Amino acid sequence: MSACWLEADGDPAALETAMYGLVERLYPICRSITGPGVRETLAMLRELVPLEVHEVPSGTQAFDWTVPPEWTIHDAWIKDPQGRKVVDFRRSNLHVVSYSRPVHTRLSLGALRSHLVSLPDRPSWIPYRTTYYDDAWGFCVAHETLEALPEGEYEVCIDATLAPGHLTYGELLLPGATMDEVLVSCHVCHPSLCNDNLSGIAVATYLARLVGSRPRRYSYRFLFVPGTIGSITWLSRNEATVGRIRHGLVLTGVGDPGGFTYKRSRRGNAPIDRAAAHVLRHQEVPATLRDFSPYGYDERQYCSPGFDLPVGCLMRSPHGEYPEYHTSADDLQFVRPRALAESLAVAASIVAVLEGDRRYVNTSPKGEPRLGKRGIYRSMGGGLDTRSAEMALLWVLSFSDGRHTLLDIADRSGLPFASVRRAADVLREHHLLRDVTAADTGPRS
Ligand code: ZN
C-alpha cells in the first residue's frame, strides 16, 4: 500500500502492537450509551489524542429523541436454589442486558426464563442484548448454563441506577488549511466486544494521530459517540456547521480477519465513495462495495435525508454476517493486530486521496511535451517502476484538461492514486501543470 502523504511512521509491527494493546485495555470496561464506562473509555483515549469530552444532560431534546437517564451498573448475579451464583456480571459484563432497570427479587425458574436470553446453536457463547428505551431487565447467558439450571426458586439481583445524568461523547477537531471538514465517526457504547466497537475506536484513534502529525488541506473532526443517540445528539448540537462536512467515514468492525466492506453514502457517488472504491481496488485484501441502506451504524443518522451528508462506512466483515457478532466470541482472539493495521492503512489511503485530489490544466497541450529534456524521468526515479511512472506522467498530461481530477485519471488509467499524484507533483515542479481546482475550498478565516 503506498500512500506517501500518510505512510505510518516507524515500525509497522510496533503500530500493530499499539493498536491491539489499546483494544486489550478497553476490553474489560462495561460501556453503554451513557454512564461511567464511556467516560473511562474516553479518558483512556485522551492519553493518545487530545479529545474534548462533552456531557449532555439527560432529558435534552435531540430532534425526535431525548437523552435518556444515565445508566450505572455496579453488580448483577443470579443465585440458584442452593444459593450458588450461576450467573455473575463480574465474570462477563455481557451477562446483564444493557440498560436493565434495577431488580432484586426471588422467582421460579419458569418466571426467570422469560428474562434470560441464550444462543441455542452456539451453546457456550453469551449473547449481547440491550433494552435502552424499555423499562425492562434481563440476563444473557450461555445456552449450556441455561440448560443446566435446576427447578426451584432463584434470587436475582441487578444493582444498577438509572437516574438523571449525562450522555458523554468525545470530539477532536484537527484544523487544516481550510474549514472544509472530513468527519470520522465511531461508536463507543458496547461493553466487552472487540470487533464491534473497539476495533473502530482503535483505528479512529490512530488515524487521528497520523492525520494530526501531517500538514493537511481539510480540517478533520473525529467523533467517539454512543451509537444512534450519540450521533443524533451531536447532529442536533452542530446543525449550523454540518455543511462544512465534505467527506465522512464511519469506522466499525475493522479488526476481524475478513475482507473489507465499504458501504457507500446515501448519495452513492460522493467523492468519499469514489476514493474508498479506488483505494480498496488497489490494496491486497479482498474487498466488497455495497450501496447505502438505512440500516447499520451512525451513517444512518449522518445520511438521514435532513442532512444527507457524504458519509460512507468502512468495515471488514459486515455486522450480523459473522457468527461472533454481538456475542462473547467477539473477543480478543477474534480481532487481529494485523487486521487493525491494514484497516488503518486503508483509512489513511482514503484520506490521502481526499487530500491529494486536484484538477489541473496541462500548460503544454499541443503534442506531448518532451519529458526527457526536462529531466522529468530522472525526477520520477526513486523506487517506482519506470514503466508505470512513465505511464502516470502520460496519463496526467493527457487528461489534465481542467475537467478531470487526479482521481478520475487514476481510475481511468488503472494506476494507483499515489503514482498519479506523484507524477502530477513532478509535472507541476516543471511548470507543466496549472492547478485549476474549483474554488470550493475557501481559505480558513
Ligand atoms: Zn453492535
pLDDT one-digit tens code per residue, 304-348: 999 999 999 999 999 999 999 999 999 999 999 999 999 999 999
Domain that residue 154 falls in: 70-163
Residue 384 is predicted with a pLDDT of: 55
Total domains in the fold of the chain: 3
Q: Tell me, yes or no, whether 187 lies in a domain.
A: yes
Q: Tell me, yes or no, whether 4 lies in a domain.
A: no
Q: Tell me, yes or no, whether 6 lies in a domain.
A: no
Distance of CA 151 from the midpoint of ligand 1 (Å): 34
Query: Do 178 and 31 share a structural domain?
Result: yes
Distance of CA 360 from the midpoint of ligand 1 (Å): 43
Which of the four pLDDT bands, split at 50, 70 and 90, describes residue 440?
Answer: very low
Distance of CA 358 from the midpoint of ligand 1 (Å): 37
Q: Tell me, yes or no, whether 365 lies in a domain.
A: yes
* Domain termination residue (choose one: 115, 143, 163): 163
Q: Tell me, yes or no, whether 440 lies in a domain.
A: no
Q: Which residue has the cell 445456552?
A: 143
Distance of CA 242 from the midpoint of ligand 1 (Å): 25
* Domain termination residue (choose one: 356, 378, 405): 356
Distance of CA 186 from the midpoint of ligand 1 (Å): 11
Q: Is a pLDDT exceeding 50 seen at residue 3?
A: no
Average pLDDT score over the chain = 94
Query: Do 159 and 75 share a structural domain?
Result: yes
Residue 195 is predicted with a pLDDT of: 98
Could you write out the three-class secondary structure of the chain?
CCCHHHCCCCCHHHHHHHHHHHHHHHCCCCCCCCCHHHHHHHHHHCCCCCCEEEEEECCCEECCEECCCEEEEEEEEEECCCCCEEEECCCCHHHECECCCCEEEEEEHHHHHCCEECCCCCCCCCECCECCCCCCCCEECCHHHHHCCCCCEEEEEEEEEEECCEEEEEEEEECCCCCCEEEEEEECCCCCCHHHHHHHHHHHHHHHHHHHCCCCCCEEEEEEECCCHHHHHHHHHCHHHHHHEEEEEEECCCCCCCCEEEECCCCCCCHHHHHHHHHHHCCCCCEEEECCCCCCCCHHHHCCCCCCCCEEEEECCCCCCCCCCCECCCCCCCCCHHHHHHHHHHHHHHHHHHHHCCEEEECCCCCCCCCHHHCHHHHHCCCCCHHHHHHHHHHHHHHCEEEEEHHHHHHHHCCCHHHHHHHHHHHHHCCCEEECCCCCCCCCC
Tens digits of residue pLDDT in 8-45 = 556 888 999 999 999 999 999 999 999 999 999 999 99
Distance of CA 32 from the midpoint of ligand 1 (Å): 11
Query: Do 374 and 328 share a structural domain?
Result: no
Query: Do 349 and 338 share a structural domain?
Result: yes
Please state, for a pLDDT cut of 70, what percent of the chain lies above it. 95
What is the distance between the alpha carbons of residues 316 and 165, in angstroms, rounded to a whole number? 35
Distance of CA 190 from the midpoint of ligand 1 (Å): 7
Which of the four pLDDT bands, split at 50, 70 and 90, describes residue 372?
Answer: confident
pTM of the model: 0.95
Residue 45 is predicted with a pLDDT of: 98
Distance of CA 437 from the midpoint of ligand 1 (Å): 40
**In contact, 131 and 100? CB cutoff 8 Å:** yes
Query: Do 275 and 137 share a structural domain?
Result: no
Q: Distances in Å between the alpha carbon of 110 and those of 80, 106, 115, 116?
A: 13, 12, 10, 10
Tens digits of residue pLDDT in 403-434 = 999 999 999 999 999 999 999 999 999 999 99
Q: Is a pLDDT exceeding 90 seen at residue 361?
A: yes
Distance of CA 41 from the midpoint of ligand 1 (Å): 17
Distance of CA 93 from the midpoint of ligand 1 (Å): 15
Residue 8 is predicted with a pLDDT of: 52
Distance of CA 128 from the midpoint of ligand 1 (Å): 9
Residue 376 is predicted with a pLDDT of: 87
Residue 9 is predicted with a pLDDT of: 56
Distance of CA 196 from the midpoint of ligand 1 (Å): 5
Q: Tell me, yes or no, whether 157 lies in a domain.
A: yes
Q: Tell me, yes or no, whether 5 lies in a domain.
A: no
Distance of CA 129 from the midpoint of ligand 1 (Å): 9
Distance of CA 326 from the midpoint of ligand 1 (Å): 6
Query: Do 234 and 103 share a structural domain?
Result: no
Distance of CA 241 from the midpoint of ligand 1 (Å): 28
Q: Is a pLDDT exceeding 70 seen at residue 396?
A: yes
Query: Do 81 and 52 share a structural domain?
Result: no
Distance of CA 43 from the midpoint of ligand 1 (Å): 22
Query: Do 364 and 351 share a structural domain?
Result: no
Q: Is a pLDDT exceeding 50 seen at residue 391?
A: yes
Query: Do 172 and 269 share a structural domain?
Result: yes
Tens digits of residue pLDDT in 207-265 = 999 999 999 999 999 999 999 999 999 999 999 999 999 999 999 999 999 999 999 99
Residue 445 is predicted with a pLDDT of: 35
CATH number for the domain spanning 170: value is: 3.40.630.10
Average pLDDT over residues 155-182: 98
* Domain termination residue (choose one: 356, 386, 407): 356
Query: Do 347 and 248 share a structural domain?
Result: yes
CATH number for the domain spanning 374: value is: 1.10.10.10
Please state, for a pLDDT cut of 90, what percent of the chain lies above it. 90
Distance of CA 149 from the midpoint of ligand 1 (Å): 29
Distance of CA 108 from the midpoint of ligand 1 (Å): 32
Distance of CA 253 from the midpoint of ligand 1 (Å): 9
Distance of CA 194 from the midpoint of ligand 1 (Å): 10
Distance of CA 230 from the midpoint of ligand 1 (Å): 14
CATH number for the domain spanning 121: value is: 3.50.30.90
Residue 263 is predicted with a pLDDT of: 98
Residue 432 is predicted with a pLDDT of: 97
Q: Tell me, yes or no, whether 113 lies in a domain.
A: yes
Query: Do 79 and 38 share a structural domain?
Result: no
Average pLDDT over residues 85-113: 98
What is the distance between the alpha carbons of residues 53 and 41, in angstroms, rounded to a whole number? 11
Distance of CA 198 from the midpoint of ligand 1 (Å): 11
Distance of CA 214 from the midpoint of ligand 1 (Å): 32
Distance of CA 197 from the midpoint of ligand 1 (Å): 7
Query: Do 159 and 80 share a structural domain?
Result: yes
